[in-house]
Amino acid sequence: MIGAAIAGFIFARNRRLVEIFPKGWRELWNEWEIRGLVLISLSFQIVLMVLGNRRKYVTGNWISIILWLAYSSANTMVTASLGIISNEGDKNDDPSNRKDMILAFWASFLILHLGGTHTITAYSLEDNELWLRNAFTPLLQLLLAIYIILKSWMNTPLNFLAIPLFIVGIVKNGERLWVQRSASIERFQASMLPHPDPGPSYTKFMDEYLSKTAEGYNVSIEAVVEDSSKVLRYSPRAVPNDIVPDGAILRDGIYFFNIFKKLFANQILSFQDVKISQSFFHDNDMNSEKAFKMIEVELGLMYDILYTKTALSYTWLANFLRLVSLSFIIFAFVAFMLIDKHAYVVVDLNITYFLLVGAIALEIYEILVILPSDQMMLWLSNHNNSLVDFAYKAISHLQYCLQWSSLIACKKRWSNTMGSYNLISFCIKDKPTKCVEIQKFLFIHELLEKHRYQYFGVVSEDLKSLIFEQVMKKSSDALNIRVSKQLCAQRGDQILKDMGCFEDIGWSVEVEFDQSILLWHIATDLCYSNDLNKDANMVENRNCKSSKSIADYMLYLLVMRPFMLPNGIGLIRFQDTCAEAKEFFQERRHILKERGRACDALLQVNTDVAPSEVKGDKCKSVLFDACRLAQYIIKLQWPNERKWEMVSYVWVEMLSHAASQCQWLNHAKLLTQGGELLTHVWLLMAHLSITEQFQISQGHARVKVVVEQ
């Protein structure tokens, strides 16, 4: 839509609206119109190249907005520019006009820009689905560019220099369309299909069986038992070159990526797939740091395949085309410097130099992005010689310099952050708001108010360790699909049963999932505040901090990412709970000026009578039900460590349940927003056989004919 708006404004110059401007202004506009457009087109390509893959690890909205503007407008700029160049040529009947020649030369750059950049081929998954429709735009613009070049053809050096650039543009457009087509759901699913397997020959078996029977033998059938220990094992070879850090993690991550990328194609894993992964995690002294790094590698590769040209980057053909493209552009640059240019306008010459230098810079930047990639590091780790060692040191030094100057994206594979949202802070408004009346006038107050109370924090190693330990523990029981489905369905009930609390507070995890999240979020917050008021050291243990982190994160998902949770009325419950909490705090505003006192006031409410009996079911608030839950937990005669152990285990089960229920499409979409902890937990669970996406079959039923005399 934004592209259409820009195009409409550009072509409006001949309309009556433009006539209101003075003649001098109109002449200036006509003189600089196409110049400005080609420079803006180049600027968009630079923005897309530099920022394209940074959204993989940046959570801020600013980068998404900038990329959306550049991505949405880039093709429109090319279309508008080529249309204006064609129009200028049609108005000028003199084929020897020098301006037409240089404009035709610029047309080849515009085709180059139309091919996009290495770091972003799709802003969203929907762009990949529209690859066929997107193919028509480059095709039409290519034909228009050919028309422009042929119309201005005078056998001058400048005409011939447009040819290599035009060829590079065709290559770039072909790459982009191929990548978008490959990343579309239909083609991506097709690429995951195994080779057709007819299985053991039934007719040959029956021929042998009937033949022996006809000969008078006593024939029986016996199953052939395969040694599953040989089949269901992944035995990685040693990494030859240990100069590359995390070489073994890259090796294992890329190996398992080729298995578990099926999940992003909405396909079912085989029994062998999950058992190979499960045995690898249990038999190789895996810890949380290694496990989550391996998951990072896999999700980083998934992002590259869905949203960039990486799928093409590591083939011999792609490397050859990259070398040819860079050579052609450098050749055009050198040749342009040498040809006679006295007949051209100086401003147009300078713009042409900008376009040439910009094209070379984009090609070099693409190489700089590829060099420190995970695939390149894995290749270096698989070769052990002095040349490889020198190459790694050179790449590392170059990467350090470029990252220090912010010219290239850092090597982070995701943001390593988790969103947080706190209901009590939101209700007592402990963050001052500026310009409230202006916000209300613009109808953005509620939107900004909701976003004001979200914040992002680093995912701690303690939290990763807690999640990993619990998932590993459950994985030992995941022996078949039935048990795996049961593990995915658990959301705190099993922990409460194991710790003897289910009879008293089991109701809190048997209600709808969004209701459980709100109940346990408020209860955890109240328990945390209660311990903090007693002794600050009481909240320093791992389970306490992790419980608070997951509690705030799960509410963040419910409020800001509801599509990642099972269907429900979570937002209705949230707003009703907030309304009741605000009313409660408003009545006590003279004493509730800080969060700690607000929590104390809630804990002092007598909840002997169930709130549902008083309020009915029209209001969906869970505020005082959560107070009942918190009061029960606080009154437990348990050591502090055991209390928070129970709370943290309940939260890990809820987190795991949410991860298993989230659709793969939503996991894939959020890879472009810095990544989501829930996605990492989902993929980790799949590696450990805690998933509903694998089949029961264990392979062919191998049998043989047994002949008895």
- 646 and 522 housed in the same domain: yes
Residues 577, 332: Cα–Cα separation, whole Å: 66
pLDDT at 429: 76
- 461 and 569 housed in the same domain: yes
At 686, is the pLDDT very low, low, confident or very high (cuts 50, 70, 90)? very high
Token pair 């499960």 in the structure block, residue: 278
**In terms of pLDDT, which residue wins out, 547 or 408?**
547
**In terms of pLDDT, which residue wins out, 246 or 96?**
246
Residue 665 lies in a domain: yes
CB atoms under 10 Å from CB of 606, counted, come to 8
- 322 and 441 housed in the same domain: no
- 352 and 421 housed in the same domain: no
> In this predicted model, what pLDDT tens digit does every residue of 205-240 receive, in sequence order?
788 878 878 877 777 777 765 554 455 677 777 777
Residue 292 lies in a domain: no
C-alpha separations of 558 from 37, 73, 521, 565 in Å: 44, 33, 11, 7
- 96 and 163 housed in the same domain: yes
283: pLDDT strictly greater than 90: no
Residue 352 lies in a domain: yes
Report for 144-158, 584-598, 652-666: range of highest mean pLDDT: 652-666
Residues 264, 275: Cα–Cα separation, whole Å: 19
C-alpha separations of 618 from 152, 516, 573 in Å: 74, 18, 11
- Average pLDDT estimate for 114-132: 94
- 137 and 3 housed in the same domain: yes
Last residue of a domain, one of 331, 363, 395: 363
CB atoms under 10 Å from CB of 403, counted, come to 14
Residues facing 708 on adjacent strands: 218
pLDDT at 15: 45
Token pair 């499409």 in the structure block, residue: 665
Reference 135, options 109, 107, 174, 188; nearest CA is 174
pLDDT at 221: 77
pLDDT at 439: 55
- 355 and 484 housed in the same domain: no
- 357 and 429 housed in the same domain: no
Residues 198, 523: Cα–Cα separation, whole Å: 57
**In terms of pLDDT, which residue wins out, 56 or 61?**
56
Residues 539, 313: Cα–Cα separation, whole Å: 49
Residue 247 lies in a domain: no
Residue 370 lies in a domain: no
Q: Which residues of 5-14 are buried (b: 16+ CB within 10 A; e: fewer)?
A: ebbeebeeee
At 46, is the pLDDT very low, low, confident or very high (cuts 50, 70, 90)? very high
Residue 609 lies in a domain: yes
1: pLDDT strictly greater than 50: no
Residue 368 lies in a domain: no
Lowest mean pLDDT among 322-331, 436-445, 700-709: 436-445
Residues near 103 by beta carbon (within 8 Å), at least 6 away in sequence: 34, 85, 88, 89, 148, 152
- 543 and 621 housed in the same domain: yes
**In terms of pLDDT, which residue wins out, 678 or 87?**
678
DSSP assignment of 508-531: HHHS-HHHHHHHHHHHHHHHHHHH
pLDDT at 2: 46
- 339 and 444 housed in the same domain: no
Reference 300, options 371, 367, 374; nearest CA is 374
pLDDT at 700: 52
- Average pLDDT estimate for 645-665: 96
Domain count, the chain: 2
Residue 394 lies in a domain: no
Residues 263, 684: Cα–Cα separation, whole Å: 12
Reference 409, options 144, 85, 58; nearest CA is 58
Q: What is the pTM of this model?
A: 0.90
Last residue of a domain, one of 363, 396, 429: 363
Domain that holds residue 547: 417-673+676-688
Running DSSP on this structure, what letter comes out for residue 500? T
Residue 70, token pair as written in the block: 């550049």
- 356 and 492 housed in the same domain: no
Long-range own/partner contacts, residues 100-103 (CB < 8 A, 24 or more apart): 100/151, 100/152, 101/152, 101/154, 101/156, 101/158, 101/159, 102/158, 102/344, 102/345, 102/348, 102/349, 102/352, 103/34, 103/148, 103/152
Task: Give phi and psi for 153, each to the nearest 5.
Answer: -70, 125
Residues 664, 288: Cα–Cα separation, whole Å: 23
pLDDT at 21: 64
- 353 and 431 housed in the same domain: no
Using DSSP, state whether 695 is helix, strand or coil.
coil
